[in-house]
Structures are given as structure tokens and as C-alpha cells.
Amino acid sequence: MSTSRNVSFLGLGVMGGAIARHIGAAGHKLTIYNRSPERAARWQEANPGLAVRVATTPAEAAEGADVVLTCVGNDDDLADVVLGPTGVFAGIRHGATFIDHTTVSARIARQIAVEARDLQVHCVDAPVTGGQAGAENGTLTVMCGGRPDAIEAASPVMEAYTKRIVHVGKAGAGQTTKMVNQIAFAGILASLSEALRFAEAAHLDLDKVYEAISGGASQSWQMDNRWHTMARDEFDFGFAVDWMRKDLGLTMEEGRSLSVSLPVTALIDQFYAEVQALGGGRQDTSALVRRLPRRGKA
């Protein structure tokens, strides 16, 4: 095991709560903070074997920490938690490492990196992929933006909950790489939804269809993990449609700044708006299939 560090984790949602558990289990001295104190209390109750300190502000959480991690909601949340008057950067020490696992805009990632540089703090924008299961199992992939020395300082803690850590470029590159990921898997889910409904309408045996096509060119993680659950109308897997729309909005905004056309992404974003209108905002992204009516279930 790597050397124990003083680690603070802010944001104990579906992803953050699981990541914090792995950090504590790896033997690091853990401080936690959540804007809702009730969630922090529930996290402690769910993890009785971990001795943790509970901070009342982000600045307090950052005091004395070697590494501070955040996993919150959006740009505004991150700005408040990190740059606000009682934010992380009001309490963090010179030489510490700051890691952000929130999916946010590249713009705020770069802004935070500039503020961190002025404070002599290592800074990594580090969105993740792998979903709730990856967080719970400690098998996330992290796409990191920042200086090489910052990635080196961050990696010993991130190794507690990841299977892959990739340094993709300078500050902000982690976030733009996450946008690439969202473009790709939104498209896969859209086509997978249509394929499933087509198979149902043709009265095909869905298990046999999966067996026939999953070893060929159409195979994907989404097919392997969501084909059967989509057929059963099971959509409780953690990464919600509401968050996907947030991510796609960030992606299209970045695309406009790069003068890149994203017509398919824009169309799928509207498909997800239809799922929200059906009441599926808190369901998993595979609920995209809900917007397509069944025509003849096998």
C-alpha cells in the first residue's frame, strides 16, 4: 500500500461516497465534507469501520490536507466549494494536491488551475468514467488534465479506486476528454435503443439476438451491460438522465467555442429531453429507450 496521507473528500453523492470509502479503506486519514450535513451523517452510518473527521466548511476540510478531492454537481457548485469565501482554496496549504472529479466545463477547470498555480497547489481536473458500479468496485477510469508533476502527486490516492489513470493533456483536457466520452456513449445508447425496439417489433428472441450480435462489430459496453436491463425496463444504475443532459449541454457549448458541429449530439440531447418529460430525469441514461414505443414485444 502507498504511504498514508491526510486526504479530504468533498461531495458524498453516488460517485463521491463510494470513492471516499475506497480512500478510507486504503488507509489514508480521511476528512469528509458535504454541503448537506445529513448526507455526511448517513455516509458515516453506512461506513462504521472507517474513522473520519467531519468538516463543517470546505476550507476547514482542506486545512492540513495533503490531498483534497471534490465531486459535486456543476460549475456553480464547484466554484462555490473551491473558490468561495469558505472554499477549499481558503484553507489549502502550499504544496498540497487538489483533484476534481466533477464533470464540469473546461473553462472552470482552467480557471481553478490558474488559482491553484498562484497558491502553489498541484491541480488535476479528473473526471471519471465507469459509472456507479465502477465507483463501488474501485475500477474507475480517470482522464486527467494538468501538469505531469500534479498527476504524479495525485496518482497514489487515485489508485485506491481506479483501474486506469490517463494523463490526457494540460489543464482542462480532462474535461474535454470526458466530453468526447459522452458524445460517443450517447450515440451508442441511441442506436442500441432503436436496435432493441426493432428486435422486439420483429418478435425476435432478445437473448438469442444478443448472443448472435454481441461478439461482432456492434458489441459495446452498453450492449453487454444494458441490453437485457433495457428490455426489462430497469433503469436504476446511478448515472441519471438529468446529469447526462448537463454533460451534453457542456459538450455542445464547448463545441461551439471550437467551431465544431455536433448535430447527432444535439439530436440525442433532445431525445433525453423527451425522457425527462416522461418523468425519467432521475433514471439511468439507458432510459433513452423509453421514448420509443413498443410495437410487438417478443
Q: Mind telling me the catalytic residues?
A: 178
C-alpha cell at 188: 451508442
**Virtual CA dihedral for 175, 177, 178, 183, nearest 10 degrees?**
130
C-alpha cell at 147: 501538469
Query: How many other CB atoms are there within 10 angstroms of residue 221's CB atom?
Result: 12
Number of residues in the chain:
298
Task: Tell me the C-alpha distance between 50 and 42, whole Å.
Answer: 13
Q: How many CA atoms lie within 13 A of 67 on its CB side?
A: 26
Alpha-carbon separation of residue 87 from 66, 195, 263 (angstroms): 16, 47, 38
135: exposed, middle or buried (C-beta count within 10 Å: 0-12, 13-18, 19+)? buried
**Phi, psi (deg, nearest 5) at residue 108:** -75, -30
Query: Cell match 413498443: residue?
Result: 294
